[in-house]
A = this chain, B = another copy of it.
Amino acid sequence: MAVERLVVVGGDAAGMSAASQARRLKGPAELEIVAFERGHFTSYSACGIPYWVGGEVGGRDELIARTPEEHRARGIDLRTRTEVVELDVAGRRVRSRDLESGAESWTGYDKLVLATGARPVRPKLPGIGAHGVHGVQSLDDGQRLVDDLERTRGRRAVVAGAGYIGVEMAEALVNRGFEVTVLHRGPQPMSTLDPDMGGLVHSAMNAMGIVTVADADVAKILTDEEGRARAVATADGREYPADVVVLGIGVEPRTALARAAGLPLGESGGLLTDLSMRVRGHEDIWAGGDCVEVLDLVAGRTRHIPLGTHANKHGQVIGSNAGGGYATFPGVVGTAVSKVCDLEIARTGLREKDAREAGLRYVTAAIRSTNTAGYYPGAREMTVKMLAERRTGRLLGVQIVGGAGSAKRVDIAAVALTAGMTVEQVVSLDLGYAPPFSPVWDPVLVAARKAVSAVRSAGV
């Protein structure tokens, strides 16, 4: 039997999980695996970068789950600092460039995995390319930022954007001794939450000394004579002095290669796949991780949701299929958790905005409770907001902000959303109770009770 060749483009979570899983299923005698990675590193936790920057994680290498050498030792022909610059679908081959030497060559494939990830949004603004302006998407990005923070004498940082990355980077920079200003669009930080819930995050950020500026539209980066960022100017003419600027505006799928090759892309520019993570219409090309759109099971559409946990699952599924097995990725419900200082932040399912966009009518219920029995020492506030569909009472989404135990509580709702439960069914769930862990009515259940009332009051 001829040896097949699997080519993997991108050496982080999705790509190397796929390569590793395929290798588990098929040995080198059956399957040759070649993986290309632009950067220096493989299989790292990009989500851990804020904690490395903030000094909670000792060093870069702790974020690396598996080094290039370890992958090679497992029979994967991994080529780092090598960028794939062209995909020839008809010819079943990719053209790659050695980023050190500039040398290029073509590599043929029988099976292809695209795991090219995402890149930070860099709006085309004056000065956006200046020294001192950083994205934090890859470990190479993180290393450049850490090096810069160590060199720079100034102590003023501006973070553009207040989504997960922006908020986590703001905290990290505070922990590193910077004065931090966060410029964000909209009325509240954390626009992945509804504004009423984002307001709670706002207060917590201010309490830790972070300045937040609402409705801020970044217009340009002002630079000094050496071409280094010195301030961020917003559209209303205000200037925010900055010795370092971190872009947390969001990321976009890195799919120029796929686009040029004519592969199907969604509205976000992410690749579109079937349930086995195969690129739609292409028998032998799979794609996963931050370069694809995933099916949002609650909204009933695909979305770009770049998260390491999805990327790892995609890789596992792709590797199983490319290795001759069978697996699927059924979709997501939109779960995400984070924290700022000791305030935990979580969401799953739809925000109000998402529900409207999905064409759903809904009611909301928000409640305040505590993370433990109220009398238990150290009890902290927990706020839970729930969305339910009008008429049917189907659970549509949950947002939680509060003390310890708030973030992962959202998993209860994530499972209930997956199962299509109504809020009435949620009320009856048999959740763990003991005074150190929950009030006798878990806050999620209290929110569900209120949502049941809201559904009834709203009628049909």
Contacts and interface: CB of A to CB of B under 8 A. Distances in A.
A431 B416 CA distance: 11
Contact of A332 (B51, B331, B430): B430
A308 B51 contact: no
Most buried by B among A45, A344, A431: A431
Interface stretch (A96-104, A207-215, A432-440): A432-440
Contacts of A418: 419, 425, 429-430
A419 to B, nearest CB: 3
Interface in A56-88: 56-57, 62-63
A interface secondary structure, majority: loop
A231 interface: no
Interface stretch (A147-155, A250-258, A405-413): A405-413
Nearest to A342: B436
B330 A438 contact: no
Given A415-B412, A434-B337, A434-B339, A45 B373 contact: yes
A310 to B, nearest CB: 8
B432 A337 contact: yes
A51 B376 contact: yes
A254 B340 CA distance: 48
A428 B442 CA distance: 25
Contact of A51 (B328, B412, B435): B435
A431 B51 contact: no
A358 to B, nearest CB: 17
A330 B45 CA distance: 42
Interface in A415-460: 415-416, 418-419, 421, 425, 428-438, 440-442
27 contacts: A13-B440, A45-B375, A47-B373, A47-B433, A47-B440, A48-B373, A48-B375, A51-B376, A309-B441, A310-B430, A312-B440, A312-B441, A313-B428, A331-B430, A334-B430, A335-B432, A337-B434, A338-B434, A405-B408, A408-B431, A408-B438, A409-B411, A411-B432, A414-B430, A414-B431, A415-B429, A418-B419
Shortest 5 CB-CB contacts between residues of A and residues of B: A419-B419, A337-B432, A309-B433, A415-B415, A62-B375
